[in-house]
Structure 1
Amino acid sequence: MENETSRELAEHMILMLKWTRNIPPPSTPKKYNPNEPPFDPSEILGGMEMDDFDDNDEDDE
């Protein structure tokens, strides 16, 4: 019985292997460049101030 179950499991794994696909590993992240200027969020956010993102809304009172 145990040998039959093992054989069925092996056949099932071989059958399912046909349906799987190889997923490539993620690309290597860019290495840190000490000569690169520090990140400035204003470049992305434009003229928005950090105060615009405060969690405490005083208008809700």
Structure 2
Amino acid sequence: MDKVLPLFKEWGIAGIKFGFVRVGDQEATAWLHEAIKKGADYQIIVDVHDEYRPIWFSRTYPLTY
């Protein structure tokens, strides 16, 4: 993520979509949260295709329309 997100930002890519992400366990949830935070740092939308269980992220990174 640290190498690809700056490149995507440079290319003008607005968002990425994760699919088939392991969900439920602490390690997978921590990875996904970190990926979402890094996406926000680069102003890149992160769409999670799988069963994502938002917690405090809904307040920290709210949806804006």
The normalised TM-score by structure 1 is 0.24
Structure 1 or 2: more strand by fraction: 2
Q: Which structure carries more relative contact order (alpha carbon 8 Å, separation 6+)?
A: 2
